[in-house]
Amino acid sequence: MLEQLTDHAPVVQDRRRVLEIDRYQVLLDPPRSDLVALVDIAAQVADVPLATINLITDVAQHQIATKGFDASVCAREDSMCNVVLHEGAPVVVPDASQDPRFADNPFVTGEIGDVRFYATHQLITPHGVVIGTLCVFDTVPREITADQERALVELAERVVDLLELELRTRELASSVSELERVRDELQRSNSQLTAFAGQVSHDLRNPLTTVRMSLSILAEEVEAGELDPATAEYLVGRAEKGTGRMQALIDDLLAYARLGGQIASKPVDLAAVVQEVRDDLAEALSGASLEVGELPVVTGDPVQLRAVLQNLVANAAKFVPAGESARVRVDASRVAGGWRVEVVDHGLGIAPEDRERVFEPFTRTHDDVPGSGIGLATVRRVVDAHGGTIGIGETPGGGTTVWFELPARDE
């Protein structure tokens, strides 16, 4: 239940909030990568350039993770989120300069910032204490949909989940020896959920682009009065499939993180998977050539194996010399004990000394090409979880060939 304020309660509630925040130990440490990744997702969901996680003490607002600007600390009385901290529901303001609650706020007037669009939702601990907000905003007026608002509410809940998971891990780390097994498992779970935040931020971009592109085309046809029922059905179906794949990715990764790291084990038609990847990467593959050879049915987790192929094909299409079109081929061959799958390109290539290093998180070898450095680290993690191996070679004539081998099971 949300904490209820009365005329006599503010000091008590401030003390409770400060104690709750102190338990999480996030005010003085560098920004945590999992929280930064969730803020990045929040900005993508709301389609805005700016987002932050704010924790509000009795005297100040602390930005512990940000997207689009550098984190800072401000006086509590200057905080926009402090004004609506105890609303108990999401707050969405299309133009803060026209809202009497915020029109004179320094974040709106230009003294600190030039906020116009503003949306926030409270971070509520399991004890019912509001410790801050997840906030997204823009310097121009705008609105968001009901679905975007609901997604922001869910992400705010995930922020608290991650804070709680890290807190419980620290508490269990000091437990007596008979609790060591439980402690170790929760540490593993926390690590997997950290990887989940980064992986989802990275891997959702492509299906999200497909959904947005389909809806954008649909909106243009509606506006022009040229909507054809067959075209509308196709675009809506494409958007639904994209959202379904995004939901499957989130559900699968959460299950993997929470249930002891056990991946699904079922037949996976890699040919069908590559077709889904082609759909999700429609924009990234525009102008590119993607050839697909005969691909097998393997045993594994369909969602995670799709993440492998999506990352490899996206990289192959992205890392090409300026002005050239990507040429990519996906093929497979039988090897002793399993299958070898290759994604071959004729792009920029990877130097031999970097071919192992690129599998480390946040490693990038071509700074002029946009990217986060998460993709190949994700690929190796998934292949390892399937009991496989992965490596990088040079394509004859120039380029990169990334291969992975999966063991044959139940054949």
Cα 28 to Cα 132: distance, rounded to the nearest angstrom: 16
Q: Provide the token pair at 364.
A: 């990038």
Phi, psi of 387, deg, nearest 5: 75, 20
Containing 49, the helix (H) or strand (E) segment is none
Q: Per DSSP, which regions of 196-281 are E strands?
A: 266-269
Q: Which residues contact 235 (CB under 8 A, 6 or more apart)?
A: 214, 215, 217, 218
Taking a C-beta distance cutoff of 8 angstroms, is the pair 374, 198 a contact? yes
Average pLDDT, the chain: 83
Q: Residue 187 class from Cβ within 10 Å (0-12 exposed, 13-18 middle, 19+ buried)? A: middle
Task: Note if the pTM is more than 0.75.
Answer: no
The H or E element containing residue 281 is none
Predicted pLDDT of residue 261: 56
Q: For residue 34, how far is the Cα from the chain centroid? A: 9
Ordered alpha helix ranges (H), 84-204: 106-109, 146-173, 180-203
Q: Where in the chain is the domain with CATH 3.30.450.40?
A: 10-152
| Average pLDDT of the residues in 225-236 | 75
Q: Reduce the DSSP state of residue 85 to 3 states and report it.
A: coil
Nearest by Cα to 169 from 150, 181, 152, 183: 183
pLDDT (average), residues 189-205: 55
Tell me the sheet residues that pair with 50: 137
Which pLDDT score is estimated for 369? 47
pLDDT class of 190 with cuts at 50, 70, 90: low
Percent helix, strand and coil across the chain, each to the nearest 5 = 45, 20, 35
What is the crossing angle of helices 146-173 and 10-24, to 10°? Answer: 70
Our CA angle for 288, 292, 295, nearest 5°, is 155
Query: What order of strands is seen across the sheet that includes strand 389-394?
Result: 289-292, 327-335, 338-345, 400-407, 389-394
Token pair belonging to 180: 């060591």
Q: What is the pLDDT of residues 48-97, one digit of tens each?
A: 999 999 999 999 999 999 999 999 999 999 999 999 998 888 999 999 99
- pLDDT over 70 (residue 169): yes
**pLDDT at residue 104 in the model:** 96
Within the chain, all domains assigned CATH 3.30.565.10 are found at 262-407
Q: Residue 116 and residue 259: Cα distance in Å, rounded?
A: 42
Q: Is the pLDDT of residue 214 over 90?
A: no
CATH class of this structure's domain 262-407: alpha beta
3-state secondary structure of 228: coil
Decide if domain 10-152 falls under CATH 3.30.450.40.
Answer: yes
Q: What is the pLDDT of residues 264-303, one digit of tens each?
A: 789 999 999 999 888 878 877 888 889 999 999 999 988 8
Q: How confident is the model at residue 372 (pLDDT cuts 50, 70, 90)?
A: very low
Question: Which amino acid, residue 178?
Answer: E
